[in-house]
Structure 1
């Protein structure tokens, strides 16, 4: 008998028909003799609908009250799924995040999990109950409900799997695995049987919306084997685990991220310490910086460009404009009509020429590169947003369709 954690996203539980389908999957796993813990997201567009309702009342509600509101979405899903499983004749109990032992930080809207005490879950499993847990939420030291931010239900599922040493954590989504590119945009995209934690983490961070990057980080840290699969097709999915054979595939995927903006600080005096001062200022305001480019000094100055998430752009511009005079720079310019396109693969570490192949594909597609960032297993480029889909298609064709990996 194994312990299996199964997470179902909003599209998998969006209505009665989909809830019955999920209940069938869960009870099938239970009938095979397994202990089952199920983590659910809010139904369909429930979270967005709740946000809209809040804005009808208050255009700028406090984050605490938003968390009090938004946690209701997962509570509805968990209760309805438990009722559906009950109707099939199986023992089941639903638990809110705090009942399931989730203690979090006090950062409303983007809380971090501090610990999970799974004693209540274990007690329910010992009674042979199926346990349904609300994802995306916990409770802080003030006994206030908190939410974990975007993709938080994935993180909830992996946290439960880690705290209980689960044999497998299955993430059910609206796609049947991890693909070499978005199959909705690239028909030739291939489903991967296996991908390493590091590759999946890079893809998640770089715009692939299959798994939340925090959940992958946690799975890697606690050696939790993940399986990404569809709740609709029931087909075998993609396993995410430690790398075993990095020689078989040069790259694992191509990702696109349009939630990006480029900020440039122009005319920075060409002397030591100013780059540190700029980026430490951003760090103090919790602004994550990705691609960085510094020009060669000219006439005693240089330009420093970097990318941030688009929703951080206005705050970053305001911060940098207030700081320009202090460091002796001349101005701040920005561009939010950009996108980041990346390739990821553990195999590129031992194969020269990957960058040149990627740049050749972009050249042949007449796509201009603005900035470049590299690591051992990824290469990212910043380009015009209008060129993003064309760039992904060209790069995918270069590495998967023409070479025939």
Structure 2
């Protein structure tokens, strides 16, 4: 059996944690399994490196930022190999070049294009634990790149796909995927299973458990993911396709209480909301007075795409004088780049477009299958927000989610109100 195990920064934050993780991997190895380990940088090392870069040059080239950040993972994989060797377990560490992880040249947000598995397969054949630096790759030109924050998850899933691993285990500081962040909503419920689509929505909309691109890859290549804790040896959450579910019994657990249900049961039909999440890393862009809407939208989103800026929750509405207004959200940490890009568009455009920016907002979403076909969910969600005294700035809905924009200071109140109405009420 081939298992890919990924451990985040908190799991390898210091000597004790590294030795603990090494023990987990050694135990699995002694069961006769082949093991590939993917590691993030130790603790907050990535943040430390970014601070150092800011102190030296606030406008440092992205290439050099990536060159710097990739050192964090190289430290953790080398130390992990040393820890395993001290336990009598043969191990070898690889950084991106040695692991053959080739990416696009988009520094800071590169995408994996191909992986040359030859060296890893050779090491596995020699019964060594292979330890790979997550979060990083190399471009075809030979430069280091990074995959974006949380990218080690994507490294792990990509390796599981190309190596045809039996499972990809993502170890974090929580013991699974919850219906909301349990640090914000103490009554949040741990899910035993969740679909790729639902997990992708949660990850994209602010849930920090998995990198959204890792879920995209898992769905595309059918990689089974299990999210579990590196601090406690308890059952985690399985991320899968509905058609691949082994069992739909006990999909939800809350303390010692379990809900037993089948696909045919009324309870299962009603349990449509898998989670509530919030994303404060959000800014709203409003473009007013657009003529020749289709042509201009093409130009605007082409400009954003060229800078690898993804827009979400795109809405159109009639403006004045036969024009169109467009509203969309972007990550707040990409706001400066977005504003610069739109300014360039405006300078090149033959028409005058008013650009408005809001950065004091948050995106709060309810995620689940069949949202649009069950209008009562939206009604209940809006009622909960109304009763909590929260003003909705914008609404976006799809088959898998209902998203509202609220004032940033109302984020916690909104999460708890929606979770209480859409999830807790159904469990009573």
**Where does residue 71 of structure 2 map in the other structure?**
72
**Where does residue 125 of structure 1 map in the other structure?**
124
**Where does residue 394 of structure 1 map in the other structure?**
417
CA pair 152-274 structure 1, distance change in 2 beyond 3 A? closer
CA pair 80-278 structure 1, distance change in 2 beyond 3 A? closer
Q: Secondary structure at the match of 1:64?
A: helix
Q: What displacement does 1:142 show?
A: 2.0
Q: Distance in 2 between matches of 1:330 and 1:349?
A: 33
Written as runs of structure 1 = structure 2, the 5 A alignment for 1:300-339 is: 300-324=322-346, 326=349, 328-329=351-352, 331-339=354-362
Structure 2 gaps, min length 5: 249-262
Encode CA deviations 1:123-163: one digit per residue, 9 max, x unaligned: 11111111111111222222222222221111111111001
Q: Distance in 2 between matches of 1:27 and 1:316?
A: 46
**Where does residue 213 of structure 2 map in the other structure?**
214
- For the Cα contact (< 8 Å) 1:270–1:300, is it kept in 2? no
Q: Distance in 2 between matches of 1:73 and 1:317?
A: 31
CA pair 269-64 structure 1, distance change in 2 beyond 3 A? closer
CA pair 285-143 structure 1, distance change in 2 beyond 3 A? closer
Match of 1:288 among 301, 310, 314: 310
Q: Which moved more, 1:249-258 or 1:51-60?
A: 51-60
**Where does residue 160 of structure 1 map in the other structure?**
159
Q: Distance in 1 between matches of 2:82 and 2:58?
A: 35
Q: What displacement does 1:271 show?
A: 6.7
Q: Which moved more, 1:87-96 or 1:284-293?
A: 284-293
Q: Which moved more, 1:242-251 or 1:61-70?
A: 242-251
CA pair 118-184 structure 1, distance change in 2 beyond 3 A? same
Q: Distance in 2 between matches of 1:210 and 1:173?
A: 8
CA pair 301-250 structure 1, distance change in 2 beyond 3 A? same
- For the Cα contact (< 8 Å) 1:270–1:297, is it kept in 2? no
CA pair 350-263 structure 1, distance change in 2 beyond 3 A? closer
**Where does residue 251 of structure 2 map in the other structure?**
none
Match of 2:284 among 247, 258, 262: 262
CA pair 138-339 structure 1, distance change in 2 beyond 3 A? same
Q: Secondary structure at the match of 1:392?
A: helix
2:249 is the alignment partner of 1:250: no
Q: Distance in 2 between matches of 1:119 and 1:81?
A: 22
Encode CA deviations 1:210-264: one digit per residue, 9 max, x unaligned: 0001111001111000000010011110000111467452110001001111122
Q: What displacement does 1:100 show?
A: 1.5
**Where does residue 399 of structure 2 map in the other structure?**
376
Q: Distance in 2 between matches of 1:179 and 1:262?
A: 27
**Where does residue 177 of structure 2 map in the other structure?**
178
Q: What displacement does 1:299 show?
A: 4.4
Q: Secondary structure at the match of 2:190?
A: coil
Q: Which moved more, 1:98-107 or 1:128-137?
A: 98-107
Q: How many residues align?
A: 404
Superposition RMSD in Å = 2.0
**Where does residue 99 of structure 2 map in the other structure?**
100
Q: What displacement does 1:30 show?
A: 0.9
Q: Secondary structure at the match of 1:353?
A: helix
Q: Which moved more, 1:285-294 or 1:206-215?
A: 285-294
Q: What displacement does 1:57 show?
A: 2.5
TM-score of the aligned structures, taking structure 2 as reference length: 0.89
- For the Cα contact (< 8 Å) 1:8–1:172, is it kept in 2? yes
Q: Distance in 1 between matches of 2:10 and 2:398?
A: 34
**Where does residue 47 of structure 1 map in the other structure?**
46
Q: Secondary structure at the match of 1:77?
A: helix
Q: What displacement does 1:79 show?
A: 1.0
2:261 is the alignment partner of 1:238: no
Q: Which moved more, 1:63-72 or 1:374-383?
A: 63-72
